Amino acid sequence: MKVSPVRSTSVLLMIVAGTCLAGKSSTVREERELTLVRLDLEAKGQQATRMDFYLRDGALTGGYVILAKEKNRSPGNNSGCVPAGPYVASLLLDELRCDGKRLTGNAVVASAHLWSPGARYGIDVTLGETPAGSFTNSFGEKRKARTVTGAVTGAVYRGAALAKLREERAIAATGEWRNWKGPTFDNRAGDSGFTLVDDYSRARLLWMSEYRMIGGGGGQGAPAPYATGRQDYNGPLVADGKLYITLALANADAKVDGNRVAKYSRGRGFGEKLNPLQERLVRHASAWVMDDVAVCMDAATGATLWVTTLPKRGFPGQWGGKGKDGLWSVGVIADGKWYFLGSTRRAYCLDAATGGLVWETALNETLATQFTAALAAWEEKGETVGGLSSQVQFSPCLVDGVLVCPAGGGGLIGLDTTTGEKLWTVGTGKKIEPVRKGIWCPIPWRHGGKTYVVTGYACLEPRSGKVLWRLEDWPDHGMVGDGVIVDDILFTSYSVKKNGRFWRGYRISPAGAEKVWDRPGPIPLGERPSHERGPMGPGCTSICGDPERGWFAFKAQHSEWCVIEAATGKLLGQLPFGNKMWGACTLYGDRLFGAYRRMCRLGADGTITKVGQLDCTMHTCVSPVLADGRYFVHHPQGIACFDLRKN
């Protein structure tokens, strides 16, 4: 299939399997003047509280509250770590009024998952060069109810002050995170020369994004009161002073299932009158048609720069209308373009500066045609169609001008980065040997002055798609986690029916792969918790490579950190955490960051020591990013940015 490049940012015309699929994409660029307001609320008997607000031409567009406490209400886990550091939640702005000079009314704290009202802060503040005013906060119930009154101070950033703030928070090029697995494709953060804080209680929250997200939180299988049923598990990219994130959101004009709306509202305890964010949440949980949305933010302030919406591109969930997940795929920023995968197995290219659509390609023409028919059936007759693989769990990589995209059925597709035209397809179709197993994403591998594509199961030439080798001794249940290469040793994780998961190391070259070690996970199958037994546990869902020390550091799904020697597979360190750990991990120096906001320290001999757990709600399967000492987390209500630099 050939796709012509689209120069317009408003009209898309794509030829799919002989059918003309017309749709409109739109980009909204935020050009109104930005003002940031920081309010410090101080009162005797109340912990330190900070509120930040985004103003556009004097009008409120976003806000959040930060509680600078060292302990959460309860540990909430079995890791032995008490969550620490600043706690953040968005503010509902319905009861606030601002004319650019004065801020009055009630700032209402929103619960992380439900957008329902929480604590109310009555505020009356004059916004001069330095804010000044007062606040009241009522909390507790009945006999324990009390009201606190205090003073409000803070700072206002506009014009030159805002420019200086952006300069102080600038992300160095050496610390950027432009693609899945980071700058070296081994989940290592770039070395910017910073020393990180010793524990999370000294982390500083710089901002939570102006753009408000709708997320389920609570992770897979979350109890009904906490999950929307639709959430995105991907992570952001950071490049050229900007942050990029993709989302799958309910289409604003598509029909919704009335029964689902009522059931969802009742199940979450919403009243008859919903606030605007609750209305958006209900639609997100009840609509059967989703948009692919690309958001670009200022990495220094969290302010929205532009939002591109690609409407009606998929159904909710991975598996048609039955699933509950949004987008998993993380894209690539290169040469002024943003490449990413979206719903119904589509590949997109946007202008990274403006958000304009450059091209769009359907990786699976048959699926795109089926989706078009299913969309018409829903909008015309209200009929739902299941069984369509709507979302993509895998991330592409960019090698020698080719965007290498995972395809269904264990295959890969190479796209021309200029036009989106398909250059080659391998490993797809009936009775065709695959080139990819499980959830492995393709990564570049540099050897002998040339760059190749490795999938953990095969090695290919990027320009032609020629398969150089496949692994011949693969176990029966296949690949179950991603992998990393250190000193030409490829780390893989696989499962064997009835025997759990195992780890394996191959020494690879363009000519082939030689198995050099093979070992089971460190915890015997019979001693694991019940949720880790059987063919799906424990595997390695995220791996970091450290070529300087010749290690692989990773989390073994679900409940432990491990460090092994790359050359021999010897277990150097092991640290159980006691509960599930989904999501990606990141390595910076001797610090290992991972799921559930945990941080560990690695000793010179590979031993692992607990450091702490960040007190911040985040999606459990996301890929947080550590860029230039800043930690960007996908919170259910937006992106949160923490400064982990010491001093």
Average per-residue pLDDT for the chain? 79
The b/e string for 378-403 (b: 16+ C-beta within 10 A; e otherwise) is: beeeeeebeebbbbbbbbbbbbeebb
Q: Which residues contact 105 (CB under 8 A, 6 or more apart)?
A: 95, 96, 97, 122, 123
pLDDT digits (tens, 9 = 90+) for 290-313: 888 999 999 999 999 999 999 988
Helices (runs of H) and strands (runs of E) counted in the chain: 4, 47
Average pLDDT over residues 325-339: 86
What pLDDT is attached to residue 326? Answer: 62
What pLDDT is attached to residue 295? Answer: 96
Q: How far apart are CA 1 and CA 402, in angstroms?
A: 16
| pLDDT over 50 at 321, yes or no | no
Rg (CA), the chain: 25
Q: What is the dihedral of CA 144, 147, 153, 158, to 10 degrees?
A: 90
Q: How far apart are CA 603 and CA 575, in angstroms?
A: 12
Of 51, 26, 46, 49, which Cα lies nearest the Cα of 36?
51
What pLDDT is attached to residue 87? Answer: 77
Q: Which of the pair, 113 or 176, is modelled with greater confidence?
A: 176
Query: Token digits for 152?
Result: 């409000």
pTM value surpassing 0.85? yes
Q: How far apart are CA 528 and CA 634, in angstroms?
A: 30
pLDDT digits (tens, 9 = 90+) for 43-85: 887 777 899 999 999 999 999 998 765 444 433 343 444 455 6
Average pLDDT over residues 25-39: 94
Q: What is the dihedral of CA 561, 567, 571, 572, to 10 degrees?
A: -80
Phi-psi region of 590 (alpha: psi -120 to 50; beta: other; left: phi over 0): alpha
Of 456, 437, 454, which Cα lies nearest the Cα of 446?
454
Cα 71 to Cα 47, 81, 121, 310, 593: the distances in Å are 11, 10, 22, 42, 19
Q: Which of the pair, 129 or 280, is modelled with greater confidence?
A: 129
Domain boundaries in the chain? 34-157, 173-254+289-643
194 neighbors 626 (Cβ within 8 angstroms): no
pLDDT digits (tens, 9 = 90+) for 498-530: 555 678 899 999 999 999 998 876 554 444 444
| Three-state secondary-structure class, residue 316 | coil
| pLDDT over 80 at 322, yes or no | no
Strands of the sheet with 411-416, listed across from one edge: 397-399, 402-407, 411-416, 422-426
Q: How far apart are CA 421 and CA 417, in angstroms?
A: 8
Q: Which residues contact 180 (CB under 8 A, 6 or more apart)?
A: 330, 331, 332, 395, 396, 397, 441, 623
Average pLDDT over residues 537-551: 76
State the pLDDT confidence band at 374, using cuts at 50, 70 and 90. Answer: confident
Give the Cβ contact number of residue 534 at 10 Å: 15
Among all chains, which residue has been given the structure tokens 């906060």?
137
Of 400, 412, 395, 532, which Cα lies nearest the Cα of 470?
412
The residues with which 138 forms a beta bridge, in sequence order, are 120, 147
Q: Minimum mean pLDDT among 44-53, 376-385, 564-573, 622-631: which range?
A: 376-385
Q: How far apart are CA 27 and CA 12, in angstroms?
A: 13
Q: How far apart are CA 103 and CA 178, in angstroms?
A: 38
Q: Which residues contact 321 (CB under 8 A, 6 or more apart)?
A: 288, 315, 384, 385, 386, 388
| pLDDT over 50 at 620, yes or no | yes
Query: What residue type is assigned to position 602 of the chain?
Result: L
Q: How far apart are CA 606 and CA 570, in angstroms?
A: 11
CATH class of 173-254+289-643: mainly beta
What is the secondary structure of 481-530 as a DSSP string?
S--EEETTEEEEEEEETTTEEEEEEEEEETTEEEEEEEEE-SS-GGGS-G
Q: Which residues contact 103 (CB under 8 A, 6 or more apart)?
A: 37, 39, 53, 60, 96, 97, 123, 124, 125, 127, 131, 133
What pLDDT is attached to residue 76? Answer: 39
| pLDDT over 80 at 2, yes or no | no
pLDDT digits (tens, 9 = 90+) for 223-275: 333 334 455 667 899 999 999 999 888 887 776 666 667 776 776 667 677 77
Q: Which of the pair, 169 or 270, is modelled with greater confidence?
A: 169
According to CATH, what is the number of the domain 34-157? Answer: 2.40.128
Cα 150 to Cα 46, 69, 121, 502, 625: the distances in Å are 9, 18, 11, 58, 37
Dihedral sign for Cα 614, 620, 626, 627, please: negative
Q: How far apart are CA 323 and CA 293, in angstroms?
A: 19
Q: How far apart are CA 182 and CA 261, in angstroms?
A: 40
Of 146, 144, 147, 89, which Cα lies nearest the Cα of 122?
147
Describe the chain by its helix, strand, coil percentages, rounded to 5. 10, 45, 45
What pLDDT is attached to residue 107? Answer: 92
| pLDDT over 70 at 398, yes or no | yes
Of 537, 528, 642, 645, which Cα lies nearest the Cα of 591?
645
Give the Cβ contact number of residue 120 at 10 Å: 17
When mean pLDDT is compared over 1-15, 26-40, 369-383, the highest value belongs to 26-40
Q: How far apart are CA 470 and CA 307, in angstroms?
A: 41
| pLDDT over 60 at 581, yes or no | no
| Three-state secondary-structure class, residue 409 | coil
pLDDT digits (tens, 9 = 90+) for 77-95: 434 444 556 778 888 888 9
What pLDDT is attached to residue 186? Answer: 92
Q: How far apart are CA 413 and CA 173, in angstroms?
A: 30
Q: Which of the pair, 387 or 434, is modelled with greater confidence?
A: 434
Average pLDDT over residues 196-220: 76
Q: How far apart are CA 179 and CA 395, in angstroms?
A: 9
